[in-house]
Amino acid sequence: MNAPPQSGRRSAVEIPAPALSGRFFSIGAKLSLMVVLVLTLASLFVVSELSGRARAQLIEQKRTAANMVVDLFAATVSAAADFGDEEELKGEVKNLGSNQDIVYAAVWTEGNEKPVAELGKSNTQTTAPSKSRQVEVLNDRIVITHPLTRPGGEQIGNLTIHFTLEPENAQYERTRTSIMLYALGMAALLAVVVLGLVRVQVVSPLGRLSRGIADVQKGREAEVEVRAHDEVGRLAAAFNSMAVAIADRESRLEALNHRLQQLLDHMGEAILVFDSGGRVGQVQSKKAAAVFGEFVSGQPVVDLLFPEGTSRVEREAFEEWLEVAFTVPVDAWEEVGALAPQETTIGRGSREERVLRLDFRPIVEDGEVRRVMLLATDETDKRRLERAVRENKEEHQRQIAAMRKLVAGGGQLLVQVLDGARERLTDCTKAIAGLSGDYATEQNEELFRWAHTIKGEARAFDLMALEKSAATLEDELAKFRGRLREGEKLAAESVRKRLEPLISKATESVGEAERMLVEASPIGPAILDQVTVRRADLSRLSELIPHGKPTGNAQEIARVVELLGSRPFGESALSLVDSAPRWAARENKRVAVDVDGRDVPIPPRLARVLSGVLTHLVRNAVAHGVEVLEDRERLGKPIPARIRLAAEEDDRVGPTIRVIDDGRGLDHEALEKAAQNAALEKAALEQTALEKAAAIVAHQAPTNAEEAAFTAGITTKPAATSEGNTSGSTRSSLHDGTDLAGFGMGLSAVRTELRKIGYDARIIERRDEGVASGIEVILSPMAR
């Protein structure tokens, strides 16, 4: 369907010839029949006419001759009649018998009713004839009656002579037969000539025209030969013009269709069109053929999108949609179109699973939705990729969770296992590098033991990737073992080529496990370098350092001892990575916690309080700093909100800790007002006016919100109990008493706690183009 138009044959739709009633009867046959009929009638007329005339002529000749005979006979017998000489009369009459044309003759004399002389027998007349002369032509004879008279004119008798017409009739018959044969021959000849002419001039051209029409119907090019300049010739010429015009129009339509088809084929979607009966039409793109198959024309679209055996509810919903989609007015299509399926999965769960995103567009004709175009985008690869990413992520999270459990239970053992695996794999690499000649059973057994140990240890620690790669290596070595036991000689080179990639893969798995261990570890890469010391040993070591301010080596020893007693920042911070998102979810918020400087050593005195301090600050940030989802969306802020916990190392004075959120910042007005109220409340407790005045001065409210936040007892929380949902609350204070942030002393307690160990806390409001964009709480060593 995608080939360009072919010359000589158009892909026009073949139009069936209209059905005609009755049997086919050729126009040539009709004309032939008509000609034969006409000529036959004409011939009969001519035969009749000619033969009639010929007979009349023969009879006329006979009558003339007969008259002469009669006249002569009358003259001959008149005297005998006058004298009554019957014998003479009889003799004369008898003599007439020699004339073969005379079949009867009779002579009457005056006064006799019966003839006095007679020849032959009459079949018509037996009495005396009339006195006048009469000639009567009958079918078979001519009867002439003639009076006998004296010279004076007096009638003396009559005579009658019958002349036979038998010879004339026989002649007439022969003539008529000849004429008829001639006429029919001529008619036949004429018919043949006419038929030939009709065939050549009419029937054959019409036949060619008919074949040409059939060719055009079938989409073929057609041209009829024009042989004569007559009506049929004109018809043929007109047909040729029409065929050329049709061919031209169709070729333009074909080219247009081809361009449209190319356009469809170049689109990424599988495109097809279906009608109100849900049947797929002929228009479809190349992609549609690839997705749905080559021959889908005429098939129900529901079978293509939701084949039998898939979800019934999806099929049912689509079938009901089809019933509605073609009945609604065009302006209501948008509402109906939204109820069409947006996606289908064909062959879900199978290897041939195909996910299609669906888009339905109405094709409007005469103001009604007559057909619907389906654009199906194949998103199978995209979905597979998304699924793979999701599954990998889930698998990674599972492994990290497992690793965290391992770390929690003693990370150093795991480090030891990984170190051992790496060491064994290095030994394997060295062993196969030194192979030469034939591969020995002992060499294989040693490698096998190493691989087996790695696999076993990996399995014990849920290191699945390492276990799998070690198992693959072990399987390969087991195969070598079998072959060696059967006495086969294995070339060391081929063994090395086979084992090298497997050992390399296992080594990669060790590296991957180490990376995950570091990721899961609260102290980052330091986990790989950490050893366990006993607190008692550390205390004993501290006691060995001279009292007072150490100098020289003692100062360095004191620093190292403090480092040994330090805990990595990650230990205090990392649990919040999992906890904070859960706290936020309960508040209709989304939060992610990032930890920087996990391996920064935190001095023992700070490490003891840092976990609680960080928990307080992060809960505070989640409760009051971070906006609810709707607010962040409205403000165009990224989701999830981010809280960053960072530790910066400073060998000289100690680490600085920062807790930074990207929430709404401080509510200055509320905090300052709360601070003033708190000062007044404290003053009110004094007894005298003078004491009160002094107290107001003494309890002077802080001048800015940052400082007010650290003032003990300050809260903007309303006096009535605040319950439950903090969604949409403004950040009025850092300790306004929600379930999350609690009702404790807040930042003032934090500061107090920190100051006891030589640390201080301060707040900086972060601003973005003058607008508050979060706060930063800084915990740093106090100046000495």
Partner 1 sequence: MADTQRILLIDDSQAVLARAQAVLSDAGYEVITTNQTVGTARHLRSCQLVIIDYHMPGIDGGEVLASLRNAAKSAGSAPLFYLYTSDADLVGKGRSMGFDGSFTDKGNDEALVSQVNAAFRLIRLRSLSKK
What is the per-residue DSSP string for 646-698?
EEE--TTT--EEEEEE-S----HHHHHHHHHHHHHHHHHTSSSHHHHHHHHHH
**526: contact with partner 1 by CB under 8 A:** no
CA count, 13 A, side-chain hemisphere, 708 = 27
Options 320, 391, 438, 556; binder of partner 1; rule CB under 8 A: 320
Q: Which stretch binds partner 1 (CB under 8 A): 43-51, 169-177, 229-237, 335-343?
A: 335-343
Pair 237, 343: CB distance under 8 Å: no
Complex with partner 1: residue 341 or 640, whichever CB lies closer = 341
**Length of the chain counted residue by residue:** 784
For partner 1, the binding residue among 61, 126, 210, 311 (CB under 8 A) is 311
The answer to whether 317 contacts partner 1 (rule: CB under 8 A) is yes
Eight-class DSSP state of 9: B
Instruction: Return the number of the residue (343 or 462) whose C-beta is nearest partner 1.
Output: 343
Of the residues 336, 418, 574, 761, which one makes contact with partner 1 according to CB under 8 A: 336
Give the number of residues in contact with partner 1, rule: CB under 8 A: 21
Q: Are 261 and 2 a contacting pair, CB within 8 Å?
A: yes
Residue 33 CB neighbour total at 10 angstroms: 13
Give the one residue of 49, 173, 316, 493 binding partner 1; rule: CB under 8 A: 316
What are the contacts of 282-289 at 24+ separation with CB within 8 A?
A: 285/261, 286/2, 287/378, 288/376
Taking the CB of residue 56, how many other CB atoms lie within 10 A of it? 12
> Which residue, among 647, 596, 405, has the nearest Cα to 516 in the 3D structure?
405
Per CB under 8 A, 333 contacts partner 1: no
Residues 536-565 that bind partner 1 (CB under 8 A): none
Of 349 and 409, which has the nearer Cβ to partner 1? 349
Q: Binding of partner 1 at residue 388 (CB under 8 A)?
A: no
- Based on CB atoms, which residue is closest to partner 1, 401 or 782? 401
Output the CA torsion 663→668→673→678 (10° steps).
60
Query: Token digits for 58?
Result: 């023969």
Establish if 378 lies at the interface with partner 1 (CB under 8 A): no
Amino acid code (one letter) for 262: Q
Scanning the structure block, which residue is given the tokens 């599954």?
391
**How far, in Å, CA of 272 to CA of 297, rounded?**
9
Is 380 a binding residue for partner 1 by CB under 8 A? The answer is no
Tell me 10's DSSP state. -
Instruction: Determine the interface stretch with partner 1 among 104-112, 310-318, 403-411, 574-582 (rule: CB under 8 A).
Output: 310-318
Nearer to partner 1 by C-beta: 384 or 756?
A: 384
Residue 520 Cβ, how far from partner 1 at the closest point, in Å? 24
Identify the residue whose tokens are 């006891």: 756
Q: Are 514 and 418 in contact (CB under 8 A)?
A: yes
- Site membership for partner 1, residue 313 (CB under 8 A): yes
Q: Rank residues 343 and 739 by Cβ distance to partner 1 and give the closer one.
A: 343
In the complex, least distance from residue 311 CB atom to partner 1, rounded to whole angstroms: 5
Among 110, 303, 343, 462, binds partner 1 (CB under 8 A): 343
CA distance 493 to 504: 17
Pairing of β 591-596 and β 641-648: parallel
Residue whose CB is less far from partner 1, 387 or 515: 387
> Between 349 and 770, whose beta carbon lies closer to partner 1?
349
Residue 607 makes contact with partner 1 by CB under 8 A = no
For residues 306 and 318, give the distance between their C-alpha atoms in angstroms, rounded to a whole number: 8
In whole angstroms, how close is the CB of 580 to partner 1 at the nearest point? 19
Kindly tell me the sign of the dihedral angle through the C-alpha atoms of 449, 450, 451, 453: positive
H or E element at residue 273: strand 270-275
Instruction: Verify binding: residue 349, partner 1, rule CB under 8 A.
Output: yes
- Quick one: which H or E segment has residue 183? helix 166-198
Nearer to partner 1, 321 or 448 (CB): 321
- Do residues 142 and 62 lie in contact, with contact meaning Cβ atoms separated by under 8 Å? yes
Q: Given the complex with partner 1, which of 304 and 657 has the nearer CB atom?
A: 304
What's the closest the beta carbon of residue 591 comes to partner 1, in angstroms? 18
Selected range binding partner 1 among 316-324, 500-508, 566-574, 769-777, rule: CB under 8 A: 316-324
358 is an interface residue for partner 1 by CB under 8 A: no
Using CB under 8 A as the binding rule, whether residue 173 contacts partner 1 is answered as no
Give the residue, chosen from 53, 249, 312, 755, that forms a contact with partner 1 under the rule CB under 8 A. Answer: 312
Nearer to partner 1, 309 or 552 (CB): 309
**Does residue number 448 form part of the binding site for partner 1 (CB under 8 A)?**
no
Would you tell me which residues interact with partner 1 (CB under 8 A)? 311-314, 316-318, 320-321, 324, 335-336, 339-345, 348-349
